[in-house]
């Protein structure tokens, strides 16, 4: 099975980074979250599914509203995961960029003597380019551009989510933690993780290494 990979690219100001990431990742997670599974009889394999609540979130640093799962736990977890990326990206200042990824995976059963295999089945990469407009016209242009690019990104996410593509099968009671993240009390997203890299930092690091090695002789 090949991992499905999707890329979103947006240009934002430092103060908008966290809001944009949350808007897009919560939209993705909304589609990849179900209600809690309840197995009446674990051996029978039949289960019932709980209800997912939804809530509107008004972004504070730009004029946009997105819908997320009604789960404070999920929002706190996501906030913690993106905090490091957000603060690192904003600290470097000037024109900078970075990539933060939301990965959905499942754990395949371990074969003899081997550990369980972690297999990504869908990954969403979000490339962010940081700008700081210096003029009113620049701010206006950026605001108009973000007002177009965010809804387009949401539309792309929805179009992808409705494609008839591979999804992990409904698990048995024993296999539930290998498919779904069961730590949240009221909802159940697919197993997922957030990773990031700062392209500016990696570039600067590579250039510093090149100079060091050149002047080492």
Partner 1 sequence: MASVEKREFEKYLKYLTLKVVQVVVQSRKGSPLKTKSTPAGRDWFNLSIADDKQVSGELKKTLDGKLPERDNPVCIEIQMETLEGHSLVLEVWSVSLDVSQRDIAVSVTHVLYPRLTVLLKSLLAITRTTPAYRLSRSNEELHFTYKVYLGSPDLSEQQKKDFKHVVFARSGCPMGTISLAVHYQPIITLPDRVPEHSDCTKAEVTSSPANTCNTLELPFLPSTSQSKLSPPTSVHIFGDQLTSKVPYQSQDSNHSNKEESATPDGATISRHPSITLLNHNDGYVVVDYAELKPAFAESGDELGDLLRQCKDVPQLDMFSDESRMDVPAALRLIEDKEDRK
Q: Which is nearer to partner 1, 102 or 130 (CB)?
A: 102
Q: Which is nearer to partner 1, 5 or 38 (CB)?
A: 38
**Selected binder of partner 1 within 15, 158, 204, 210 (CB under 8 A):** 158
Q: Select from 160, 19, 159, 6 the least CA-distant residue to 78.
A: 19
Q: What is the C-alpha to C-alpha distance for residues 81 and 101, in angstroms, rounded to an integer?
A: 11
Q: What is the C-alpha to C-alpha distance for residues 31 and 52, in angstroms, rounded to an integer?
A: 11
| Dihedral over Cα of 30, 35, 36, 41: its sign | negative
**Selected binder of partner 1 within 87, 91, 182, 185 (CB under 8 A):** 185
To the nearest 10 degrees (0 to 180), the angle between helices 17-31 and 136-161 is: 10
42 forms part of the interface with partner 1 (CB under 8 A): no
**Selected binder of partner 1 within 27, 86, 96, 101 (CB under 8 A):** 27
Q: What is the C-alpha to C-alpha distance for residues 70 and 214, in angstroms, rounded to an integer?
A: 55
Q: Which is nearer to partner 1, 63 or 80 (CB)?
A: 63
Exposed, middle or buried by CB within 10 Å (0-12, 13-18, 19+), for 165?
exposed
| Least distance between partner 1 and beta carbon 40 (Å) | 12
Angle at 13 between CA 9 and CA 14, to 5 degrees: 110
Q: What is the C-alpha to C-alpha distance for residues 212 and 115, in angstroms, rounded to an integer?
A: 41
Total residues interacting with partner 1, rule: CB under 8 A: 39
162 forms part of the interface with partner 1 (CB under 8 A): yes
172 forms part of the interface with partner 1 (CB under 8 A): no
| Least distance between partner 1 and beta carbon 111 (Å) | 28
Stretch that binds partner 1, among 32-40, 112-120, 137-145, 173-181 (CB under 8 A): 32-40
The residues of the shown chain that bind partner 1, judged by CB under 8 A, are: 27, 30-31, 34-36, 38, 48-56, 58, 63-67, 69-71, 150-151, 154-155, 157-159, 161-162, 164, 170, 185-187
């Amino acid at each position: 099975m090949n991992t499905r990979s999707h890329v979103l690219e947006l240009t934002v100001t430092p103060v908008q980074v966290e809001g944009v990431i949350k808007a897009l990742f919560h939209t993705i997670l909304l589609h990849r979250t179900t209600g809690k599974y309840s197995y009446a009889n674990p051996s029978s394999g039949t289960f019932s599914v709980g209800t997912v609540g939804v809530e509107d979130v008004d972004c504070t640093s730009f004029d946009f509203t997105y819908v997320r799962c009604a789960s404070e736990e999920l929002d706190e977890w996501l906030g913690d995961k993106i905090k490091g990326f957000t603060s690192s990206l904003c600290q470097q200042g000037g024109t900078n960029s970075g990539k933060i990824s939301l990965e959905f995976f499942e754990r395949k059963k371990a074969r003899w003597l081997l550990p369980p295999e972690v297999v990504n089945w869908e990954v969403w990469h979000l490339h962010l380019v940081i700008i700081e407009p210096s003029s009113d016209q620049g701010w206006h242009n950026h605001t108009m551009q973000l007002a177009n690019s965010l809804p387009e990104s949401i539309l792309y996410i929805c179009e992808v989510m409705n494609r008839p593509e591979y999804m992990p099968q409904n698990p048995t009671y024993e296999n539930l933690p290998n498919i779904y993240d069961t730590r949240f009390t009221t909802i159940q997203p697919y197993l997922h993780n957030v990773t990031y890299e700062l392209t500016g930092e990696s570039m600067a690091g590579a250039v510093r290494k090149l100079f060091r090695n050149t002047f080492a002789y």
